[in-house]
Amino acid sequence: DAGVTQSPTHLIKTRGQQVTLRCSPKSGHDTVSWYQQALGQGPQFIFQYYEEEERQRGNFPDRFSGHQFPNYSSELNVNALLLGDSALYLCASSLLRGEETQYFGPGTRLLVL
């Protein structure tokens, strides 16, 4: 049983470009949360998807958008990239009404030049 997978593992973009990151949740999980972790900082909540809809959102601009597909996988899109968007982007999956913990993917490290 694969855990949470993310792609790509690393990515280099330039300012102004757009990027799409992908996440496949752990088998059986229905909820995907995205986090941004800047270097030396703790992760910050971006948003969460359940039943293909954004359930809640952290303090991130509209340049950050997402999508969840019927198979529960998810994408994070960032438009008009800024240098400050350079970070590790983590995806975590869980059951919305479950008792168990969230499972984290290995992350996608994005560098914006």
Partner 1 sequence: KNEVEQSPQNLTAQEGEFITINCSYSVGISALHWLQQHPGGGIVSLFMLSSGKKKHGRLIATINIQEKHSSLHITASHPRDSAVYICAVDGGATNKLIFGTGTLLAVQP
Cα–Cα distance for residue pair 30/37, rounded to 1 Å: 23
Cα–Cα distance for residue pair 47/34, rounded to 1 Å: 6
Lookup result for tokens 């994005």: 110
CA neighbor of 78 nearest in space, from 90, 88, 67, 66: 66
The answer to whether residue 56 forms part of the interface with partner 1 (CB under 8 A) is yes
The answer to whether residue 66 forms part of the interface with partner 1 (CB under 8 A) is no
Each residue 70-99 as x (binds partner 1 by CB under 8 A) or -, in order, gives --------------------x-x-x-xx--
Each residue 23-52 as x (binds partner 1 by CB under 8 A) or -, in order, gives --------x-x-x-----xxxxx--x----
The answer to whether residue 1 forms part of the interface with partner 1 (CB under 8 A) is no
Binding stretches for partner 1 (CB under 8 A): 31, 33, 35, 41-45, 48, 55-56, 58, 90, 92, 94, 96-97, 100-107, 109
